[in-house]
Amino acid sequence: MSRVVDLRDERQGRDRRALDAEVRDDGSLVIRGQDLGPGASSMSGDDEEYEWAYTFAAQDVPKLVAALGGTPDQPIIELLQQRYTGASSYELEHIVRMTEDTIPREFWNWG
């Protein structure tokens, strides 16, 4: 059974920013973000919604664990829940972007 952890749920006026992570049954990891409201238009043009996701294959998750400062035996979902919730979720996004050339992933966005 997959496991999901909410990493961010911020609201400011009409803007909302959400981020979660899911470990799927096959061991892959999906990090999903959604921005709603006028602030999302900076990413999506005229729309007030922007969604995106990174998907890491199961064999690449240990590389991400290491990049995030975890130990080899530490489950990624626990690492994310312990270190990368709330304001720290922005650091997670930064590390994910910075490892783009070294850790394979798929990227999807809409908005």
Going by the DSSP 8-state scheme, the letter that residue 73 receives in this structure is: T
Model pLDDT, residue 44: 47
Q: Closest Cα partner for 21 from 98, 76, 65? A: 76
For the chain, residues with pLDDT lower than 50 are 44
**pTM: predicted TM-score of the whole model, two decimal places:** 0.87
Report the number of distinct structural domains present in the chain.
Answer: 1
**H helix or E strand, kind and range, residue 65:** helix 61-67
Q: Give the residue numbers spanning the domain of 54.
A: 3-110
